A and B are shown apart, each in its own frame.
Chain A
Amino acid sequence: MLKIENLHAGVDGKQILNGISLTVNPGELHAIMGRNGSGKSTLANVITGRDNYEVTSGSVTYNGIDLLDMSPEDRALSGVFMSFQYPVVIPGVNNTYFLRAALNAKLKHQGLKEINAADFMRLIREKLKLVNMDEKYLSRAVNDGFSGGEKKRNEILQMLTLEPALSILDETDSGLDIDALKIVAEGVNNFRNSERSFVAITHYQRLLDYMKPDHIHVLIDGKIVKSGDMTLAHQLEEKGYSWLES
């Protein structure tokens, strides 16, 4: 699904990723852990194609296609989704309208018929239940006046609606209380199947307790210094990151 090889990249001339290699197979959930500034979010931004992020060497392929050669919207349309660490507010743009525009962009890309308003409402009501969100959020502007937890749930709602093949969850647990965390994790868990892949970026083990990743990678100074299973997450929770530093 996703294959990253010896990726070197940076932002605004500052080198941040120093040779990352990672393979995510269909159906797998990989967790990337690390301190602030270790390059976690840079990795997410490079995969999704944010401007100003520059790849100096290495490659990222998605189902065998060079992802780095594609525009951000083409990456999204081909099934790469990111749940934002800081979801963006778009004043005046109705949440329902935004989500339907996104879904229709995808349907159109796949050569399918666009969804009409009535069918979309039926669909979205189902999805709302999965993340325990009230219907009133639909009539509000995108992320406008949402609490931190509401914004993150809204991201997961978008994921469930757009049904991406690869989801990058960038610190989806930050700013969530324990109840919201459970809801978000359940939303992701119910969405998992043998074809969908996930990369979850996080500081803490908490989220992983609910999500049960297949692989855990520790990122320090833009490099994966250790990979393992859930026991690695527990070790990190106990000992911190310093024992992994050379």
Chain B
Amino acid sequence: MDKNQQIIDSAISQEYEYGFTTDIEQETIPPGLNEDVIRLISSKKDEPEWLLDWRLKAYNQWLKMDEPNWSKLNYPNIDFQAISYYAAPKEKEKLKSLDEVDPELLDTYNKLGIPLEEQKMLANVAVDAVFDSVSVTTTFKEELEKHGVIFCSFSEAVHSHPDIIKKYLGSVVPTTDNYFAALNSAVFSDGSFVYIPKGVRCPMELSTYFRINAANTGQFERTLIIADEGSHVSYLEGCTAPMRDENQLHAAVVELVAHQDAEIKYSTVQNWYPGDPKTGKGGIYNFVTKRGTCLEVNSKISWTQVETGSALTWKYPSCILKGDNSIGEFYSVALSNNFQQADTGTKMIHLGKNTKSTIISKGISAGRGQNTYRGGVKIMKGAENARNYSQCDSILIGGECGAHTFPYIDVRNPSAQMEHEASTSRIGEDQLFYCNQRGISTEDAVSMIVNGFCKEVFNELPMEFAVEAQKLMEVSLEGAVG
């Protein structure tokens, strides 16, 4: 493999495309975490008393919790006092329209390929742009309002729709759920809020674009999506961050609620800075709790994720299938190249009758990357005729990476039907030679083989983003053959 090794070595120097920083005047609070910091965040957002209390309660619970250590991830202890919990671009006045958004910010999003001017955007995608701790702008708001769809930043929703927030916040992921969810509940800064009213099919894709810019800052966003009876929504999030030598913490919480006959499709293309490819220095620590409840009959929640970035990924988008006949799906591609580590998977909790879940997980390990699939399928006593199909495939590129699979199954109702398939393969020299012999270069062959491997998952992404994901895969894999 000498020649292939050379190709790798030259390509490995490929730089992370979104690693630039935006030079903008920012307001950042000093590092450290205590009740005063939480009060400060809450007051900056002009939050009602109940929300501050909710945060403080979460904080006090967090203090009593221990950082989880059951994952396969290897990293030094995080110093939670060294992180700043709030950073925002300085605003002169309250923004009334996009014309007032700092040109520096608009430029940043242009560079990221997400123009925020509506006329330049993909016609069918509404975007909420979150920059460090705050939402910069949300596009197509008026168009959406015509259909009764609420799509705005979380902070805005706290003021404009306090009843909905109060009703659902923490209803899927309670503050005590886990260490990082508790932390998020205490210090979350912004995020997106979506409400789709009864019977409405959301007329466009909704999308949030998360950008971490400030140094030594954590990003803690909170997303809440409610699909009322018979409604339908497809939502996509994208993430990037500058290249920095220090690790940065990202701990988000996403809660989805699907009512009767409603459907939520949630897609993620995660491309946080993965750290230096040669030394492993820097990169985002991505600790995320995502969970959806299929609350009533015939509801459906579908997670699709393409995880190519971050130094560490700890993420298990899950479904609680409470309503009878409800459906949960999880489609995942996780790539660990160079020094990246991913421990990701899903939990499907079957409570209702005739509930059905599908898990398709594709793990790709290259360089010295370590990729772990961790999944739990639980069929509870009352879940008559529940069905699960799980498939987890791993592909290894080179000899220094690793793939691990931990599928947990807990069945408490004998009528359950469970299927599990798993495979591990290596991109073989014979496959590469076969492609070479047909005139296809090693680089092209690897991306062809990997894209073929991921196809089932890419097919689940909204059209506009499937191509993006494929391209991203190629960039992330450049030089991965070994």
Contacts and interface: CB of A to CB of B under 8 A. Distances in A.
Interface of A: 48-51, 71-73, 76-77, 81-82, 84, 87-88, 90-94, 97-98, 101-102, 105-106, 109, 141, 158, 162
30 contacts: A50-B433, A51-B2, A51-B4, A51-B429, A71-B436, A72-B436, A76-B437, A77-B439, A81-B437, A88-B428, A88-B430, A88-B431, A88-B433, A88-B434, A90-B434, A90-B448, A91-B453, A92-B451, A92-B453, A93-B448, A97-B448, A98-B448, A101-B438, A101-B440, A101-B444, A102-B438, A102-B439, A105-B438, A141-B452, A162-B438
A76 B441 CA distance: 10
B420 interface: no
Nearest to A161: B438
Contacts of B429: 51
Contacts of A93: 448-449, 451-452
Given A51-B433, A101-B438, A109-B439, 11 more contacts: A71-B3, A73-B437, A76-B437, A77-B439, A84-B434, A88-B431, A88-B433, A90-B431, A91-B453, A92-B455, A93-B451
A101 B434 contact: no
A196 to B, nearest CB: 17
A82 B433 CA distance: 11
A73 B448 contact: no
B463 interface: no
B453 A72 contact: no
A48 B455 CA distance: 31
Contacts of B441: 73, 105
Give the residue among A92, A141, A162 with the most B Cβ atoms within 10 A: A92
A73 B439 contact: yes
Nearest to B428: A88
Contacts of A84: 434, 437
B439 A162 contact: yes
Nearest to B434: A88
A32 to B, nearest CB: 18
Contacts of A71: 3, 436
Interface of B: 1-4, 425, 428-431, 433-442, 444, 448-449, 451-456
A225 B5 CA distance: 39
Given A51-B3, A71-B3, A106 B452 contact: no
Given A51-B1, A92-B455, A73 B436 contact: yes
Nearest to A87: B434
Contacts of A49: 436
Nearest to A144: B452
Contacts of B451: 92-93
Contact of A48 (B2, B430, B437): B437
Give the residue among A72, A97, A141, A158 with the most B Cβ atoms within 10 A: A72
Given A51-B429, A88-B430, A92-B455, A101 B437 contact: no
A174 to B, nearest CB: 17
Nearest to B441: A73
Give the residue among B2, B435, B451, B456 with the most A Cβ atoms within 10 A: B435
A106 B444 CA distance: 14
Contact of A158 (B430, B438, B455): B438
A184 to B, nearest CB: 18
Contacts of A91: 425, 452-453
Given A51-B3, A88-B431, A92-B455, A76 B438 contact: yes
Give the residue among B4, B439, B451 with the most A Cβ atoms within 10 A: B439
A92 B137 CA distance: 40
Contacts of B437: 48, 72-73, 76, 81-82, 84
A118 B433 CA distance: 28
B438 A90 contact: no
A77 B439 CA distance: 5
Contact of A105 (B425, B431, B440): B440
Given A51-B1, A51-B3, A90 B436 contact: no
A97 B444 CA distance: 12
B439 to A, nearest CB: 4
A102 B439 CA distance: 6
A162 B455 CA distance: 26
A90 B438 CA distance: 13
Question: A-B pairs with the 7 shortest C-beta distances?
Answer: A92-B452, A93-B452, A102-B438, A72-B436, A88-B434, A105-B439, A76-B439
Contacts of B449: 90, 92-93
A158 B3 CA distance: 25
A76 to B, nearest CB: 4
B440 A72 contact: no
A93 B428 CA distance: 14
Give the residue among B3, B425, B438, B449 with the most A Cβ atoms within 10 A: B438
Contacts of A102: 435, 438-440
A101 B448 contact: yes
Contacts of B442: 73
Nearest to A107: B439
Nearest to A92: B452
A51 B4 CA distance: 10
Contacts of B1: 51
A123 to B, nearest CB: 16
Nearest to B444: A101
Nearest to A158: B438
Nearest to A141: B452
Contacts of A87: 434
A81 B436 CA distance: 10
B433 A72 contact: yes
Nearest to A75: B437
A90 to B, nearest CB: 6
